[in-house]
Amino acid sequence: MSGQTSGASVLAIQGGRPVRAEPFPSRNTIDDEEKRAVARVLDSGVLSRFLGTWHSDFRGGDEVRALEEEWAARFGARHAVAVNSNTSGLYCAMGAIGIEPGDEVIVTPYSMSASAVAPLIYGGVPVFADVEPEFFCLDPASVESRIGPRTKAILVVDLFGQPYDAEAINALARRHGLTVVEDAAQAPGATLNGVPAGRLGDLGIYSLNYHKHIHCGEGGVVVTDDDDLADRVRLIRNHAESVVEGMGHRNLTNMVGFNFRMTEMEAAVARCQLRKLDGLLERRLENVAILEESLRDYPPLRPAGQRPGARHVYYAHGLLFDPAVAGVSRDRFIAAVRAELPVFAGRETEGVTLGCGYVRPLYLLPLFQDRVAIGGRGDPFPGDRRYDRGLCPTCEHLHETALVLHEFMIPSMTRADLADVVSAFEKVWEHRHLLREH
């Protein structure tokens, strides 16, 4: 239960009573609206209406098509194509823009792995650029330094809900004739100078995975204004090789299709969730404001930056930690705070959603260290391509020393819940001397 005061003399990590043991409220946003939508689909008996041939059902059933229309309208896109995951959408995008063996795609080292490995599906070579120290998206200066004669695209990520530097990176892309693919998995509803995240590049991909702002379990949506790219995404989604002839599509590059189709039940749930997006985002932003105001009195912590002109939608809330001010390492300090706090109800297996860094820089994965991806002979990596530690120093510093990341700003958290989070930080700050190594 909550109620432990910050003045308690023993930290929970050292055997004391935690600030709170009762789980935080469930983050579930599914209610009767989604239940009725699923029942409607079940009653119809049509759980999917895709056919992998050139037919009126090539583009799916009523729910999928309705979701696509509503998503396109919500984000101001000419086309929206529903897929079964953001990862699938990234694969479709790489194929649609014509990535071929040996083409290079500039990617971020700080994201879910699919944001970097998508080019490999077509024999492309991921080239890692470093990230911004305050905003964590791709650093335009680092991107520019990685552009070479084989570069074909830049795969940007709107990390943690913050839009990438579209002005600078899009200008680089225009100058060098590159395509910009925007992974907006964590940023539905974010904007930059009024333009929605996902609409800042040539193609944008959103996620409907159950961790995201809105979800249908698994799912994704690809958006673009380009008619040809939209058709190619649809073909790759649904058995392109069997459809191109009937469709009259002449460009056969990467027209080996997959089954990346969304079901009718997923689409029905996603439509309900889309209608809730604005309200859910409003509560996230309110909670972030409360936390940032409440944590401002703790010198080793400060909120990460927000890009000028951006609306950040906080898939996760980033803080920057200064161990010199704290007199204790970030990892020891945050481990102590974690011990004072509970899990979320329904997500017990995930542990306390407060951590040091995000994912390890992706180029340190075995795939890149051993340069073995497609087959076992090192394809598609050229012999001189290396992914050594030190490749992206800002990313490594953030992950190993500076970044603190949490999810306590989710919409289900009340002011009382947030007060317990703040109390945990306060308690550890007041007793930080107990964490110092002697």
Residues 92 and 205 reside in one and the same domain? yes
Write down the pLDDT at residue 438: 54
Q: What is the pTM of this model?
A: 0.95
Q: Is 153 left (phi over 0), alpha (psi -120 to 50) or beta?
A: beta
SS3 255: coil
Separation of alpha carbons 59 and 261, rounded Å: 9
152 is catalytic: no
Task: Please indicate, yes or no, if residue 117 is contained in any of the structural domains.
Answer: yes
- Along the chain (438 residues), what's the average pLDDT of each consecutive run of 10 residues? 51 96 96 98 97 96 98 98 98 98 97 97 97 98 98 98 98 98 98 98 97 97 98 98 95 96 98 98 98 93 97 98 95 98 95 97 96 86 90 98 98 98 96 84
Q: What is the DSSP letter of 241?
A: G
Chosen domain end from 273, 305, 340: 273
Domain co-membership, 331 together with 267? no
Q: Which domain, by its residues, includes 330?
A: 12-28+276-359+394-435
Q: d(Cα 119, Cα 91) in Å, to the nearest integer?
A: 7
Residues 193 and 315 both lie in one domain:
no
Domain-terminating residue out of 247, 273, 299: 273
DSSP bridge pairs for 223: 80, 204
Q: Give the total number of structural domains in the chain.
A: 2
pLDDT score at 7: 44
- Residues 20, 49, single domain; the answer is no
- Tell me if 170 is assigned to some domain: yes
What length is written for the chain?
438
Q: Could you tell me the CATH number of the domain that includes residue 120? A: 3.40.640.10
- Predicted confidence at residue 375, as pLDDT, reads 86
Is 98 buried (19+), middle (13-18) or exposed (0-12) by CB count in 10 A? middle
197 in a structural domain: yes
Catalytic residue among 35, 152, 212, 276: 212
The interaxial angle of helices 264-294 and 62-75, nearest 10 deg, is: 30
Q: How far apart are CA 49 and CA 266, in angstroms?
A: 13
What pLDDT, on the 0 to 100 scale, is given for residue 9? 66
User: Which residue among 273, 290, 317 closes a domain?
Assistant: 273
Q: What pLDDT does 384 receive?
A: 84
Return the amino acid letter for 167. Answer: E
> What is the spatial distance between Cα 53 and Cα 171, in angstroms, rounded to a whole number?
39
Domain identity same for 91 and 20: no
